[in-house]
Amino acid sequence: MKYLIDPMDLSVEEIDELIDIANDIIKDRTRYQDVCRHKILATLFFEPSTRTRLSFESAMLSLGGNVLGFSSASNTSASKGESVSDTISVVSSYCDIIAMRHPKEGAPLVATRRSKVPLINAGDGGHNHPTQTLTDLLTISREKGRLDNLTVGFCGDLKFGRTVHSLTKAMSRYKNIKFVFIAPPELKIPEYLKHDLLDAKNLDYKEVETIEEVIEDLDILYMTRVQKERFFNEQDYIRLKDTYILDLKKLEKSKSDLIVMHPLPRVNEITTEVDDDPRAKYFDQVQNGRFMRMALILKMLGLENEVER
């Protein structure tokens, strides 16, 4: 595993192994705290994303490794006209592994051509964000004890939501998954996903417009932000926005072991009263993100068996 660009690059078996490593890290972190000593992670964020960058950096430091990099492109050689390939050629001389974020779709793939070290896509535009998907899978696996036989509801902006598309693809490989897409007409899941994936694989899915009509059936409710600027007009936004704000009332009829997920940052699409509810798992996702990134770094550096036993 030299590069991770698209979460679908990984087989189900590889994902299982990463989840196993992450679970082992969670069980006893101290055994992993020096395994990446003398290794350097470069975080190359051509587009700012503090949360993702800090998660990668915390992961590497928690493995005993070191970190260098940049948090936005404004001050890099890119602004002098250097190509992404050249930047990667150079920086891959300075480090042992790269986590790269870029506003252009496909940039991390181009970068792999010249990288001398393993490279992880930390998000490329609206395209892929594989470590978020792996984090989501780890969270589901830990909370539900399985990745199959689940009814998964996605709610909010399903048209542009990169995390929703990736997780839908990833979950489609497990047995007996029922998908429920909850969105306003403007923000429904794209046709290509329905046609090429859901219909093509003959998967069980339905599309609805409110949380309330399906809440009883869900094992997982995956919330995303509904951005005002996505709507055709102000009235539609005002009419619809409360429909996609999750509060304790909308959760009343849920299964007791429902889990509520969110890729964060959250603005107001989940009220803070939900935060202390045991069904809320979005802050656990954050914690899992760090552990999954630790597992991934270990695996890509080939150090997963170097751990103290």
- Whether 129 is a known active-site residue: answer yes
Gap between the Cα atoms of 111 and 123, Å rounded: 13
Q: Is 162 annotated as a binding residue?
A: yes
Please tell me which residue in 51, 104, 195, 239 is annotated as part of the active site.
51
- Residue 133 touches a copy of itself, criterion: CB under 8 A: no
- Comparing CB distances to a copy of itself, the nearer of 43 and 151 is 43
- Please identify which of the residues 39, 53, 102, 129 carries the catalytic annotation: 129
Among 6, 232, 221, smallest CA distance to 125 is for 6
Residue 93 interacting with a copy of itself (CB under 8 A): yes
Kind plus residue range of the DSSP H or E element containing 69 = strand 66-70
Check: CB of residue 177 under 8 Å from CB of residue 204.
yes
54 makes contact with a copy of itself (CB under 8 A): yes
Binding residues among 58-77 for a copy of itself as defined by CB under 8 A: 58, 61-62, 64, 66-72, 75-77
Q: Are 100 and 131 in contact (CB under 8 A)?
A: no
| Residue 52 among the catalytic residues | yes
Residue with tokens 């990984």: 10
- Which one among 27, 38, 175, 309 touches a copy of itself, defined by CB under 8 A? 38
Q: Which residue, 219 or 269, is less far from a copy of itself as judged by CB?
A: 269
How many residues are present in the chain? Answer: 309
Q: Is 264 annotated as a binding residue?
A: yes
Residues contacting 37, CB < 8 A, separation 6+ = 64, 65
145 touching a copy of itself, by CB under 8 A: no
Nearest approach in angstroms of CB 153 to a copy of itself is: 22
Q: Is 287 in the site for a copy of itself (CB under 8 A)?
A: yes
Rg (Cα) of the chain, in Å, rounded?
A: 20
What is the distance between the alpha carbons of residues 248 and 271, in angstroms, rounded to a whole number? Answer: 8
257 secondary structure, DSSP code: T
Q: Which is nearer to a copy of itself, 78 or 203 (CB)?
A: 78
Selected binder of a copy of itself within 124, 290, 296, 301 (CB under 8 A):
290
- Residue whose CB is less far from a copy of itself, 47 or 217: 47
CA distance 88 to 67: 16
From the list 80, 175, 201, 309, the catalytic residue is 80
For this structure, is 146 an active site residue?
no
Are 53 and 43 in contact by the 8 Å Cβ rule? The answer is: yes
Q: How far is the CB of 90 from a copy of itself (least distance, A)?
A: 5
Say if residues 129 and 162 touch (Cβ distance below 8 Å). yes
**CA pair distance 57, 209, nearest whole angstrom:** 39
Cα gap 196→207, rounded to integer Å = 16
Answer yes or no: is 265 a known binding residue: yes
What's the rounded Cα separation, in Å, for the pair 153 and 223?
Answer: 8
Active centre residues (catalytic)? 51-52, 80, 101, 129
| Chain contacts with a copy of itself (rule: CB under 8 A) | 30, 33, 38, 40, 42, 48, 50-51, 54-55, 57-58, 61-62, 64, 66-72, 75-77, 80-82, 85-87, 89-91, 93-95, 264-267, 272, 283, 286-287, 290
Binding residues for carbamoyl phosphate: 51-52, 101, 129, 132, 264-265
Residues that constitute the known binding site: 51-52, 80, 101, 129, 132, 162, 225, 264-265
